Amino acid sequence: MIFNSLTFIVFFACVLAMHHLPLAWRTKKVNLLVASYLFYAAWNPPFVLLLWVSTVVDWYAAQKLVHAERPAVRRAWMLLSVVANLGMLGYFKYGGFLLANFTTAMAALGVHYQPPSFDIVLPVGISFYTFATMSYTLDVYLRRAKPATSFLDYALFVTFFPHLVAGPIMRPTELVPQFAQPRRATPDMLRFGLALMTLGLFQKVVLADGFLAPVAEQVYDGDKVAGALDAWIATLAFSGQIFCDFAGYSTTAIGVAMCLGFAMPDNFRFPYAAIGFSDFWRRWHITLSAWLRDYLYIPLGGNRHGQARTYMALMATMLLGGLWHGASWTFVVWGGLHGTYLAGERVLRSRFAGYRPGPWTLFALALLTYALVNITWVFFRAHGFGKAWSLLGGMFGAHAAAAPIIPTADLAMTALIVLSLVGAHWWMRNRTLETAIARTPATVVSAGWALMLFAVVITQGSGNAFIYFQF
């Protein structure tokens, strides 16, 4: 089920009520585990089996490898976990993509191959929970963490519904210890958690789904050629939509966990105020970028084996990171562009190591970063390269005679929301949400909360799934 649904409201009320009953802590954890399976089964009940496979394989692999003395045996158990998780991900997420590319390659060689139809439904959130469970085995293998002593705690770590389907991608060391002791939200935690949920749902329901998504759809999903204004506004709208959608999910998830007495890490840190791309990736989907750095970039050599190896590891990490987002070459190009930006920034930083820009230059660099990020969003959002090139052409003046597509209302609302969003990110660049709220008068906090909740209710929403569920 999704957070912005009536079903979730009822589900969450029941979970919250049960969590506050005077039951043994173990019973409460079992309740949370069952609730988490229900949460996942509400999409497609059979896919709960995949969760079980992922849970059990990594549990046993970690138990076995920690007791193995020979390095080869340890490595074998670690590889079992990696192969099982990536195999599952590969089959469900990339099977069709691989088959289509194989068919194309065969055709290029003059071999006509007609593959059987590959109509596999992608299990929601599979990319997230496979990465979470793999990090468990890998942390144990790398001796960064000891294996969990309780299967219940470990299973709850994998399945815990706030982070299950779209992150934040939590490490076992972040969550398993929280299950060791009884946890229950204080009244203030509960209220602040509800406030965070309202903020997250406001971002998702009102801004992303209500105002921004339709603007991007008019241009990206239509067959009209877009001129400069339409192409830019649609792309800016998507930049706002994907942030509000995903950061909205993360904020809601953090609020949900807080209401139950658990803490989850930040997944976004005002990314559209980033100055440069290494800064951007410290602020955007933090738990994924950290995962890729820890389990891909560093094992590939990181920056400790010379310049060439560093750039190779950097580009490989970003290309695979792009592919993680979707089984399409457009996502690979999206990752490749970010890899190129990061490499370019690295070159510039080493060449101008002593340069200390002033505040206005920093602001200009932040705007440049945001503009370049928007170029990458074109490949992320477009359904194919034809549309992507057409949009990019439009953005840079190739379709000057194109008829207008986006009505004035959408132009104005997109401009207002995106400018407010970027401005808010800049103002919050070195702050946290909590410090900002702490400085705000209580009446203003109340009014803001009420207005957001009111807007969520009257926008009504259509229960659109979060964008990142498809990844």
Partner 1 sequence: MPSSISSSEAASSEAASSEGAGPDSPETGSADAAASAAAAELALRASAVPLHAPESPLPGPGAGEHFVRPGFVRLTASDRPGVAQPVPVRDIPPQPWRRIFATAMVLTAVLLCGWEAYWRAFGATPGYRNSDGAWAQQRRRIDTGEGDRTVLIGSSRVLFDVQLPVWERLTGERPIQLAIEGTSPVPVLEDLAKDPNFTGRLLVGVAPELFFSGFAYRGDVIPGYHRQTPSQRSGHWLSSHLLEPLFAFYDPDFALDTVVRRQAWPLRPGMPVHRPVRKLMTMQDPDRNTHMWRKVETDPEYRALMRSIWDERFNGPPPPGMDTPAKLQKTIDAQINRAVAAVATLRARGVQVLFVRPPSNGHYYAFEQKVFPRARTWDVLLRRTGAPGIHFEDYPQLQGYEQPEWSHLSAAEATRFTAALVPLVKRQPWTRGNAQPPR
State the SS3 of the chain.
CCCCCHHHHHHHHHHHHHHCCCCCHHHHHHHHHHHHHHHHHCCCHHHHHHHHHHHHHHHHHHHHHHHCCCHHHHHHHHHHHHHHHHHHHHHHHHHHHHHHHHHHHHHHCCCCCCCCCCCCCCCCCHHHHHHHHHHHHHHHHCCCCCCCCCHHHHHHHHHCCCCCCCCCCCCHHHHHHHHCCCCCCCHHHHHHHHHHHHHHHHHHHHHHHHHHHHHHHHHHCCCCCCCHHHHHHHHHHHHHHHHHHHHHHHHHHHHHHHHCCCCCCCCCCCHHHCCCHHHHHHHCCHHHHHHHHHHHHCCCCCCCCCHHHHHHHHHHHHHHHHHHHCCCHHHHHHHHHHHHHHHHHHHHHHHCCCCCCCHHHHHHHHHHHHHHHHHHHHHHHCCCHHHHHHHHHHHCCCCCCCCCCCCHHHHHHHHHHHHHHHHHHHHCCCCCHHHHHHHCCHHHHHHHHHHHHHHHHHHCCCCCCCHHHHC
Please confirm, yes or no, whether 19 is among the known catalytic residues: no
Piece of the chain touching partner 1 by CB under 8 A; list 104-112, 299-307, 368-376, 392-400: 299-307
Note whether 139 binds partner 1 by CB under 8 A. yes
In this chain, which of 35, 201, 292, 319 binds partner 1, going by CB under 8 A? 292
In this chain, which of 171, 325, 399, 425 binds partner 1, going by CB under 8 A? 171
What is the Cα–Cα distance from 216 to 406, expressed in whole angstroms? Answer: 9
Nearer to partner 1, 255 or 326 (CB): 255
Beta carbon of residue 15, minimum distance to partner 1 (angstroms, whole number): 14
Beta carbon of residue 341, minimum distance to partner 1 (angstroms, whole number): 9
- Catalytic residue selected from 163, 285, 325, 399: 325
Per CB under 8 A, which of residues 43..102 are in contact with partner 1?
Answer: 43-45
Beta carbon of residue 19, minimum distance to partner 1 (angstroms, whole number): 15
Per CB under 8 A, which of residues 342..381 are in contact with partner 1?
Answer: 342, 345-346
Note whether 404 binds partner 1 by CB under 8 A. yes
Per CB under 8 A, which of residues 208..227 are in contact with partner 1?
Answer: 210-211, 214, 223
In this chain, which of 55, 252, 310, 369 binds partner 1, going by CB under 8 A? 310
Nearer to partner 1, 105 or 121 (CB): 121
Nearer to partner 1, 314 or 391 (CB): 314
Q: Which of 166, 133, 144 is nearest to 325 (CA)?
A: 166
Per CB under 8 A, which of residues 231..290 are in contact with partner 1?
Answer: 254, 258, 261, 263-266, 269, 277-279, 281-283, 286-287, 289-290
Beta carbon of residue 278, minimum distance to partner 1 (angstroms, whole number): 4
Per CB under 8 A, which of residues 190..209 are in contact with partner 1?
Answer: 191-192, 194-195, 206
Note whether 34 binds partner 1 by CB under 8 A. no
Beta carbon of residue 445, minimum distance to partner 1 (angstroms, whole number): 5
Q: How many residues bind partner 1 (CB under 8 A)?
A: 113
Map residues 409-438 to x or -, x wherever contact with partner 1 holds by CB under 8 A. Answer: xxxxx----------------xxx-xx-xx
In this chain, which of 36, 74, 459, 466 binds partner 1, going by CB under 8 A? 459
Piece of the chain touching partner 1 by CB under 8 A; list 91-99, 110-118, 314-322, 377-385: 314-322
In this chain, which of 16, 18, 30, 42 binds partner 1, going by CB under 8 A? 42
Which residues does the annotation mark as catalytic? Answer: 325
